[in-house]
């Protein structure tokens, strides 16, 4: 197993590129994880300008670090403007989404457990409640 994943401008040599839930605005790179015998995964998500990650919730947590670009993050009922080196914690069962809404691609590093539950879409009621907050309605992308 490679110990140095060299960055080649748009990908890591020895990293894996995964399709992201049919969303063409997001590229998912898996750098380290189960194949290294780890019980956590280190991934990088590139969100193209105007795009967003899934609006979802799940029991597993995310530890996120912004690497590049700018955007907004929804975590629960809060919206944060994010820029490089900001950290974001997504606690269990908390609705979340990362949105590249600042005219730039947004690149984030995200650590999760290898063994984790499947993401769930928000219920209509949850969505309605979020959308009733103008600041949230302004940034979230509902697909």
**Looking at the annotation, which residues are catalytic?**
110
CA proximity to 47, closest of 91, 1, 108, 114:
108
CB-based contact 99:108 (threshold 8 Å): no
Count the alpha carbons within 13 Å of 8 in the hemisphere toward its beta carbon: 9
What is the C-alpha separation between 24 and 60, in angstroms, rounded? 24
What is the C-alpha separation between 64 and 51, in angstroms, rounded? 18
* Strands 71-75, 96-99: pairing kind: antiparallel
Neighbours of 20 (CB within 10 A): 18
């Amino acid at each position: 197993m490679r110990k140095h994943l060299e960055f080649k401008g748009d990908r890591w040599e020895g990293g894996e590129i995964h399709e992201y839930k049919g969303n063409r605005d997001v590229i998912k790179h898996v750098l380290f994880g189960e194949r290294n015998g780890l019980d956590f995964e280190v991934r990088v998500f590139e969100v193209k300008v105007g795009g967003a990650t899934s609006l979802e919730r799940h029991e597993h947590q995310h530890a996120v670090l912004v690497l590049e670009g700018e955007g907004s993050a929804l975590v629960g009922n809060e919206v944060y403007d994010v820029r490089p080196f900001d950290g974001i914690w997504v606690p269990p069962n908390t609705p979340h989404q990362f949105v590249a809404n600042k005219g730039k691609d947004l690149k984030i590093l995200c650590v999760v457990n290898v063994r984790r539950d499947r993401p769930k879409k928000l219920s209509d009621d949850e969505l309605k409640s979020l959308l009733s907050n103008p600041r949230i309605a302004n940034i979230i992308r509902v697909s």
